[in-house]
Chain A
């Protein structure tokens, strides 16, 4: 596709429910990133994929968070047993590879998650 796409655009859920957020990177981009943007914390890195592998999961806030990527393309971020503090905008980005200047990260429009 022309850009990074994310779905859903907005998600409202009840505390304790599981949610899945989807990211479709730019075609051909091998690296994919998830960030979280919240009012109090700014933009924080969550996880990075190179192909289908996630070399670094240290940014995930808790074991309720998990992510996977299949076919070197689409990625899903899953939050189990959601809590109110999970409310935020979840941004996905992709780049050609994972390092270097040429591999600028291009962002999707984000998913706004509200946990009631």
Chain B
């Protein structure tokens, strides 16, 4: 079984500053995938960034980047130059890579507020 833990229920950041959201996970598998999803008040879950566990290079998408530490089972999200539109719930999720694996396991989420 997999578990995903987000230890920060709420965070805030000043506009244009940088913030890091934490995520740890637990799995006995060697191959898996990790995701960060954003859920604004509109409820739409939007994929922010994804990482393949066998890739050592950290994924980046514009202002979003991850710090993937496989040995520590840590997958934090860094948001640079925070914008008001970044205000949302952020969910970390994992997915095993094996055949028949299809279920995303989510953390409880971190509510991020960007302050003008």
Contact = CB atoms under 8 A, between A and B. Distances in A.
A104 B37 contact: no
A48 to B, nearest CB: 5
Interface residues of B, number: 26
| Chain B CB within 10 A, most for which of A33, A43, A106 | A43
Size bin of chain A's contact surface:
20 to 34
Contact of A89 (B33, B43, B95, B105): B43
B87 to A, nearest CB: 17
B45 A99 contact: no
Contact of A101 (B52, B99, B103, B106): B52
Given A42-B109, A101-B50, A107 B102 contact: no
B78 interface: no
A110 B91 CA distance: 16
A31 interface: yes
A61 B64 CA distance: 36
B8 to A, nearest CB: 15
B30 interface: no
Interface string A93-114: 1000011110011111110100
Contacts of B107: 42
Given A42-B109, A43-B106, A101-B50, A91 B45 contact: yes
B89 to A, nearest CB: 10
Interface string A66-92: 000000000000000000000001010
Interface string B41-59: 0111111001010000000
Contact of A106 (B47, B91, B97, B106): B47
9 A-B pairs with least C-beta separation: A107-B45, A43-B106, A98-B102, A110-B43, A45-B103, A109-B44, A42-B108, A101-B33, A48-B102
Given A35-B104, A105-B104, 6 more contacts: A43-B91, A45-B104, A55-B100, A56-B102, A89-B43, A104-B47
